[in-house]
Amino acid sequence: MEQRKNDDLSQLTARRKAIAERNKAIRKRRTALTIVCGVLLAVLIAGIVMIIALKRIVPLQAEITVEAGSTVSADQFLSTPGLQIGQSVYFKTNMSGIDMNIEGDYEIELYVDGTAYSSVLHVRDTVPPKADPVEMTINAGMSPRAEYLVTNVVDVGQVTVSFAEEPDVSKGGETVAKVLLTDQAGNTSIVQVKLTVVADAVKPVIHGASDRVFYVGDAIVYTGAYEDYLGNVYPEVTATDSESKVTLTVDRDAVDTAKAGTYPVTYNAVDAVGNLTSVTVQFTLVEKPQGTADPKVVYSLARDVLAQITTEDMSDMEVAFAIYRWVSTNIGYVSTSDKTSWIDGAYQAFTQYSGDCFNYFAAAKALYEVAGIENVDVVKSDTSHSSHYWSLINLGDGWYHVDCTPRSNPGQFFMNTDAELEAYSVANRNSHIFDGSLYPERATESVQHMVDYGSGVIKED
């Protein structure tokens, strides 16, 4: 029994000893773990403190880059995203002075918690421009401007619009125009635009081309507006085309500006696809009349008279007869005059209302000219008895004699044939003898039955 008790006691002691050893080991492990945790916590706290300290020392990024056209805020410069508790940040630099639409590099100052710091802002444009195409129907040869082929152009800055390559619009059909968009930063994009090209078969139209008259030696006006010495006004010569642009040229190689004559002048109008229109007119150069009077003044006086004695509804024959009657009745006859220049003779007739046969002839000639009546000067061939001057006129039915000088022996000489004039001439000492070979062939059909000298009217044929 005693032995059993001793054994039990020994076992109890052993158990107690084992428990004590186990508890001791647990305490050691706990102590080691506590030390490790303490060290780790210290390291963590030290790291946090260090990071916070570093952030407090350099709170901004050294530089940031943003896209052109965007906005930038002060907190984008912070080293850590977002503001820390109790932290304030705002710009010291006046940001309104920076154009965010243009690439550039800018030194920026900011206040963080009242302390100024610096950073660098890089503005970069990396986005190419965009635009919508404008499909168009055009006539052949009419290449549209590139900027007309796009709309809704989008970019932060100015965009240059051009062709990546010129579209072929020389013939009908569909083609594609490649429109190149280039922004200020050099970013590019291409917009493809469909073009429908309509073939152009319409020829240009030439306006204002007509016969013109100049004095020899004067400047020749080929396309500009012009008033000739007769007072005829010519409009500017132009060319138009409903489909495309037109080039107007003048072929004037045949004109000899130093020599009197009638010369062909051809106007050529060519549109963008080669359609051609040509108009040929006649330019007449005449010798400038000699004399002291200014021809333009004489023609101006003649136009004033013509405006008083004619109306727009008169026939050519009625106009010619009105000229005949005015000259015959408004100029007083004197026996002599200076016959050096018909311009001077007409000037005397229009200003002094006097003169001899030369002045009558000269005044009538000036009036014929401004009225557009074709006329030729006739000079008496036999001057043994007297000299004399009159005219041949042509109203479209042949040449007839007109002599405005009044006669003491009754005689009226408006649109006479050779036979009619000769009958008077033979009976009045060869008053109107002339060399017919020097003048254009005259009409032989009499029109005297249409001329009423008494009432001053032209009767119907």
Cα–Cα distance for residue pair 459/447, rounded to 1 Å? 10
Torsion 47-48-50-51 (CA) sign: positive
The residues pairing with 118 across neighbouring beta strands, listed in sequence order, are: 109
The pair of structure tokens assigned to 68 is: 């052109």
Q: What pLDDT does 141 receive?
A: 77
Q: What is the largest CA-CA distance in the chain?
A: 208
Q: What pLDDT does 55 receive?
A: 47
Cα torsion through 421, 426, 430, 436, rounded to 10: 50
Residues 6+ apart with CB under 8 A from 356: 333, 334, 335, 336, 337, 405
Number of residues in the chain: 461
Instruction: Compute the chain's Rg from CA coordinates.
Output: 55
| Residuewise pLDDT in 10s, the chain (461 residues) | 566 666 666 676 777 776 667 767 667 777 767 776 666 776 676 556 555 544 456 689 999 999 999 999 998 999 887 666 667 899 999 999 999 999 999 999 999 988 999 999 999 999 999 999 999 988 887 788 999 999 999 999 899 999 999 999 888 899 999 999 999 999 999 999 999 988 877 899 999 999 999 999 889 999 999 988 888 889 999 999 887 789 999 999 999 999 999 999 999 999 877 889 999 999 999 988 878 898 989 999 999 999 999 999 999 999 999 999 999 999 999 987 888 899 999 999 999 999 999 999 999 999 999 999 999 999 999 877 788 999 999 999 999 999 999 987 888 999 999 999 999 999 998 999 999 999 999 999 999 999 999 999 999 87
Cα–Cα distance for residue pair 447/424, rounded to 1 Å? 16
Q: What pLDDT does 51 receive?
A: 52
Q: What pLDDT does 140 receive?
A: 81
Q: What pLDDT does 217 receive?
A: 87
Q: What pLDDT does 178 receive?
A: 96
pTM of the model: 0.52
H and E: helices and strands count for the chain? 6, 26
CB atoms inside a 10 Å sphere around CB 450: 15
Q: What pLDDT does 291 receive?
A: 81
Residues 6+ apart with CB under 8 A from 47: none
